[in-house]
Amino acid sequence: MNSRTGQVVLVTGATDGLGRYLTGELTAGGASVVAHGRNPSKLGRLRDDLGVETVRADLARLRDVDAMADELLERVPRLDVLVNNAGVGFGPPGGERELSGDGIELRLAVNYLAGYRLTRRLLPLLVESAPARIVNVSSIGQQPLDFDDPMLEASYDGITAYRRSKLAQVMFTLDLAHELRDRGVTVNALHPATFMNTSMVFEHGAAPMSTVEEGGAATLRLVTDEALAAVTGRFFDGRREARPDRTAYDEQARARLRRLSDELVTSTLRSA
C-alpha cells in the first residue's frame, strides 16, 4: 500500500466506523487528514486521539454543508483526496420514514445529496490540487430512484431508502468521472464490505459479516494505490471491479437525477 505522505485528505463521517478507521490509518501513513463529523464532543476526542484537524457539519442540512465547504476553501490550501463516507444505514427494522433538517427524505439527503453538494463546492480546489481523487463510499445494495416519488412518500422502508441513495451516489460517480476526464481528478465508488461491525449495522440488529479492517483496506486502496492513479468512473465490490445496477449506465436517468439534485439544492438553499 502506498501512503499519502504530505497529502491532504478529507474524510466525512470520520467519528465512527469506517471513517474513523480510515482517518487513523491515513494519519499513521503520513497524510494530513481533515476529519469531518457532526458531533463536537466526538470531534474533540478525534483531535485528542489522532491529532487531526476537524470540521463540523450536520449533513442533514444543506446550509451546514455549504458552510463547511466555505470554511474548507478558506482553511485548506489544497485537497488531494475527498472521501465521501458519512452515511445513515437501514435504521431499525420497521423504522419510520425520517426527514432531514431541510425536509428531504433523510437517506437521500445525507447519503447522496450532501455529498453531491459538498463535492461540487470543493471541485475547484480538487482540480487545482490535481492529481486528486474522489472516493464515494457506496454499497452493493442498490435500487433505482422512483422519480415520481423520490422522497418515498407513498410507501417507505429504510432498506429501500438506503439502496436508492446508494445507487444515486454511483450514478453521480459515473457522471462526475465523465465531466472531469482530462482534469486530473478521478472519481470512483465502492462497496467496502458486507455488514461490517459498525454502528449502522448494529442499529439494524444485523449480525456483522465482515470487519471494518476489511472494508477499510478496500477503501484505502482507492485512496492510495498508485496503480489506480488513472482509473476513474468505476465501481468496486471490495477490491474487485464490479458492475453497479444497470440504471447507473442509463444516461437519461442520470440526467434526471442531476436535474432533481440541482432543483433540491436550489430550492432548499433559497428557502432556508
**Binding footprint of ligand NAP on the chain (CB under 6 A):** 13, 15-19, 37-39, 42, 58-60, 85-88, 110, 137, 139, 191-192, 194-196, 198-201
Give the residue with the Cβ less far from ligand NAP, 42 or 78.
42
| CB 245 to ligand NAP: min, Å | 14
| CB 183 to ligand NAP: min, Å | 25
Give the residue with the Cβ less far from ligand NAP, 173 or 198.
198
Q: Which of 170, 235, 261, 205 is nearest to 90 (CA)?
A: 205
| CB 16 to ligand NAP: min, Å | 4
CA pair distance 183, 234, nearest whole angstrom: 17
3-class SS of residue 234: strand
21, 112, 116, 162: the catalytic one is 162
| CB 128 to ligand NAP: min, Å | 26
Give the residue with the Cβ less far from ligand NAP, 64 or 80.
64
CA pair distance 235, 222, nearest whole angstrom: 10
Grid coordinates belonging to 241:
471491479
95: left (phi over 0), alpha (psi -120 to 50) or beta: beta
| CB 73 to ligand NAP: min, Å | 19
Give the residue with the Cβ less far from ligand NAP, 185 or 201.
201
3-class SS of residue 65: helix
The answer to whether 162 is a known catalytic residue is yes
CA pair distance 3, 21, nearest whole angstrom: 15
| CB 23 to ligand NAP: min, Å | 10
Give the residue with the Cβ less far from ligand NAP, 129 or 172.
172
3-class SS of residue 87: coil
Grid coordinates belonging to 164:
436508492
CA pair distance 2, 29, nearest whole angstrom: 8
**Contact yes or no for 27/14 (Cβ under 8 A):** no
Give the residue with the Cβ less far from ligand NAP, 137 or 177.
137
CA pair distance 29, 184, nearest whole angstrom: 23
Q: Which of 64, 79, 62, 71 is nearest to 11 (CA)?
A: 79
CA pair distance 157, 226, nearest whole angstrom: 40
Of all residues in the shown chain, the one whose CB is closest to ligand NAP is 17
Q: Known catalytic residues?
A: 162
